[in-house]
C-alpha cells in the first residue's frame, strides 16, 4: 500500500520555478519578483492556433461524474533570450454530483488540480495501492486555511478497480462537499496511459523536442576533438 500526503504549495511551486539557473542564494519563496519576465500564455488564447481544447475524459457513475483533462504550462520569455516555464501545467479533475439517474449538476462541480508529482503518484499506483493529496487553494492569501480539499484513490480489495473521492470543506461558504465514484480497471488504465502521455507535456518537456535544427552550414572543416572540448568541462 502506498500512501502519500502532499501539501500542495501552489505559490511555493511557482516561486521555485523562477530560480532555475538565474540567481545564486535564493529564498525559494521570495525575491522572484526581481526577475523581469515577459509573460505569455498558451492556455485559453483566442488566437487561431491557440484555441481552447475541450476533450476531457469523462466517467459517469451512479452518484457522481468525473472528468479529467490536461492543462498545459504557461511560458515566459526571458530578457536574456529563451523561454521558461512560468507556471507548471496540471491535470484538472472535475467532480459533479448526480441529481437523478444519468443527470448531473455541473454548477455544483468541484475541481482538483494534480501537479506533476501527484500525477506521478497516480500512474505508479499498484493494484493494491492508494494515495491521498491535500490542497489549500487559498494558501498564502488572507483566506489561508479556510478551504481544504482532499483527493484520494483507494484500491478495491478484490482488485476490480479503485474508488476516487474528493472532499471540499469551505469554512467561508460553510459548505462540505463530498464526491465518490468507482473507477474500473479499464477506466484507470485509460487514465494511467493518458496521464503518462500528458505528464511530459504539462512539465513543458515537449518543448525541448520540437526544436528545428538550424542548418547553419559552416565551412566543411574537419570535425576534431578540439571543437568539442569546451562542452564537456564540468
Residue 63 contacts a copy of itself per CB under 8 A: no
Decide: residue 55, CB within 10 A, 0-12 exposed, 13-18 middle, 19+ buried: exposed
Q: Shortest approach of a copy of itself to residue 225 CB, angstroms?
A: 6
Residue 179 contacts a copy of itself per CB under 8 A: no
Residues 157-176 contacting a copy of itself, CB under 8 A: 160
**Whether 192 contacts 123, CB under 8 Å:** yes
Q: Shortest approach of a copy of itself to residue 57 CB, angstroms?
A: 6
Which cell goes with 21?
539557473
Of 57 and 163, the one with the shorter C-beta distance to a copy of itself is 57
Residues 73-102 contacting a copy of itself, CB under 8 A: 73, 75-79, 81-87, 99, 102
Which cell goes with 89?
501545467
**Whether 29 contacts 12, CB under 8 Å:** yes
Nearest to residue 87, comparing CAs of 7, 29, 32, 18?
18
Binds a copy of itself by CB under 8 A, chosen from 128, 171, 176, 193: 193
Nearest to residue 92, comparing CAs of 69, 110, 108?
69
Decide: residue 110, CB within 10 A, 0-12 exposed, 13-18 middle, 19+ buried: buried
Residues 105-144 contacting a copy of itself, CB under 8 A: 105-107, 110-111, 113, 116-121, 123-124, 131, 137-138, 140-141
Q: Shortest approach of a copy of itself to residue 180 CB, angstroms?
A: 19
Binds a copy of itself by CB under 8 A, chosen from 55, 62, 157, 172: 55
Amino acid at each position: 500500500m502506498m500512501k502519500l500526503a502532499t501539501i500542495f504549495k501552489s505559490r511555493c511551486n511557482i516561486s521555485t520555478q523562477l530560480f532555475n539557473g538565474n540567481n545564486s542564494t535564493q529564498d525559494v519563496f521570495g525575491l522572484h519578483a526581481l526577475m523581469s519576465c515577459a509573460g505569455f500564455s498558451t492556455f485559453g488564447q483566442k488566437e487561431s492556433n491557440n484555441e481552447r481544447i475541450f476533450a476531457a475524459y469523462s466517467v459517469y457513475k451512479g452518484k457522481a461524474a468525473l472528468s479529467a483533462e490536461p492543462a498545459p504550462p504557461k511560458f515566459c520569455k526571458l530578457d536574456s533570450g529563451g523561454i521558461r516555464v512560468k507556471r507548471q501545467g496540471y491535470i484538472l479533475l472535475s467532480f459533479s454530483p448526480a441529481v437523478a439517474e444519468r443527470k448531473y449538476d455541473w454548477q455544483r462541480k468541484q475541481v482538483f488540480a494534480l501537479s506533476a508529482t501527484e500525477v506521478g503518484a497516480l500512474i505508479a499506483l499498484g493494484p493494491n495501492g492508494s494515495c491521498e493529496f491535500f490542497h489549500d487553494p487559498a494558501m498564502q492569501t488572507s483566506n489561508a486555511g479556510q478551504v481544504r480539499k482532499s483527493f484520494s484513490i483507494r484500491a478495491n480489495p478484490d482488485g476490480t478497480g479503485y474508488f476516487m473521492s474528493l472532499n471540499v470543506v469551505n469554512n467561508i461558504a460553510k459548505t462540505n462537499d463530498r464526491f465518490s465514484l468507482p473507477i474500473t480497471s479499464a477506466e484507470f488504465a485509460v487514465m494511467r496511459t493518458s496521464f503518462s502521455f500528458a505528464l511530459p507535456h504539462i512539465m513543458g518537456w515537449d518543448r525541448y523536442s520540437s526544436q528545428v535544427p538550424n542548418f547553419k552550414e559552416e565551412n566543411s572543416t574537419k570535425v576534431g576533438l578540439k571543437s568539442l572540448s569546451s562542452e564537456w568541462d564540468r
